[in-house]
Amino acid sequence: MRKVHLTVLIALSFCATVVFAQLPDETSGRVPELDAFHKPIYELWHTAWPAKDIAKLKSLLPDVETAYATLAAAKLPGILREKQSKWDEKLPVLAQSVKEYRNAADKNDSEAILKAAEAVHMNYEQMVRLVRPVVKELDAFHQSLYTLHHYYVPENKSELIKASADSLTQKMVTLNGAALPKRLEAKTEQFNKARKNLEESVKAFAAAVKAKKGKDEIAKLENTLHARYQVVEKVFE
């Protein structure tokens, strides 16, 4: 009898582990369908297109169409909810370039195939840049801010708010040491100004949490903090 009970417990534990492992992580900005699209895009742009291999470009088209159809049905994770409108704007642009790729292939128009394949690559890269963090330290900061803004503050979970304040304070120090990539050096002054304002909000929020201020004041300061984070994000748009 004990063996039966033990077997059942092990089975239940295994099932629970599988279920939790399958739960989506709202704080991860990964879009698996976008990652999967990279395989045909890589072959298209780094192998077929440079060689002007029209036959190869035509053979890749079904994979590109399948990858796009899968991407079009994808749902963004919670942490990317603020990018949904931009995503919805860019997706039809990518769709149009895939359609033009098909039209060019059907007409066997080599020049049009090359042009359309280039457009597919460019528009795919636009989708990637939309959801991939430009500055990894800012992405790490947002992971803590996301749960604070959407869950802990609205639900007034004081202990988790305190933990988030500590986390944001530490991550702000790391963010202050981040440098922009070369392609964005022209935005350095704008980035530094926005980052400084964000730092001030983090300090004000953390001080209020430490002083155990009322939930309305905490919420107001957190909203300002979140708004200033969005200003930093907009630097890269």
pLDDT tens for 103-162 read 999 999 999 999 999 999 999 988 887 887 788 899 889 889 989 998 899 999 999 999
Task: Return the number of other C-beta atoms located less than 10 Å from residue 101's C-beta.
Answer: 26
Whether 70 maps to a domain, the answer reads yes
pLDDT at 31 over 80: yes
Q: Indicate the residue among 81, 115, 131 that finishes a domain.
A: 131
pLDDT band at residue 181 under the 50/70/90 scheme = confident
Based on the domain organization, do 116 and 81 belong to the same domain?
yes
User: Closest by alpha carbon to 171, among 134, 207, 135?
Assistant: 135
Distance separating alpha carbons of residues 146 and 166, to the nearest angstrom:
14
pLDDT band at residue 1 under the 50/70/90 scheme = very low
pLDDT band at residue 25 under the 50/70/90 scheme = low
Lookup: tokens for 88? 């919805």
Lookup: tokens for 100? 């033009």
Q: Which domain CATH number covers 179?
A: 1.20.120
Query: With contact defined as beta carbons under 8 Å apart, do 232 and 191 qualify?
Result: yes
Contacts of 18 (CB under 8 A, 6+ apart): none
Whether 20 maps to a domain, the answer reads no
**Model confidence pTM above 0.75:** no
Question: Could you list the residue range(s) of the whole structural domain that residue 161 is in?
Answer: 136-234
Q: What is the pLDDT of residue 28?
A: 64
Q: Indicate the residue among 77, 105, 131 that finishes a domain.
A: 131
Between 17 and 188, where is the model more confident?
A: 188
Number of domains in the chain: 2
Averaged pLDDT of the chain: 87
Distance separating alpha carbons of residues 95 and 118, to the nearest angstrom:
14
Burial of 15 (0-12, 13-18, 19+ CB in 10 A): exposed
Task: Return the number of other C-beta atoms located less than 10 Å from residue 20's C-beta.
Answer: 8
Whether 120 maps to a domain, the answer reads yes
Based on the domain organization, do 116 and 190 belong to the same domain?
no
DSSP 208-237: HHHTT--HHHHHHHHHHHHHHHHHHHHTT-
Based on the domain organization, do 96 and 68 belong to the same domain?
yes
Whether 195 maps to a domain, the answer reads yes
Distance separating alpha carbons of residues 38 and 107, to the nearest angstrom:
26
Based on the domain organization, do 189 and 162 belong to the same domain?
yes
Contacts of 194 (CB under 8 A, 6+ apart): 228, 231, 232, 234, 235
Between 236 and 186, where is the model more confident?
A: 186
Based on the domain organization, do 146 and 107 belong to the same domain?
no
Q: What is the pLDDT of residue 29?
A: 63
Between 81 and 47, where is the model more confident?
A: 47
Q: What is the pLDDT of residue 8?
A: 38
Based on the domain organization, do 111 and 152 belong to the same domain?
no
Q: What is the pLDDT of residue 77?
A: 85
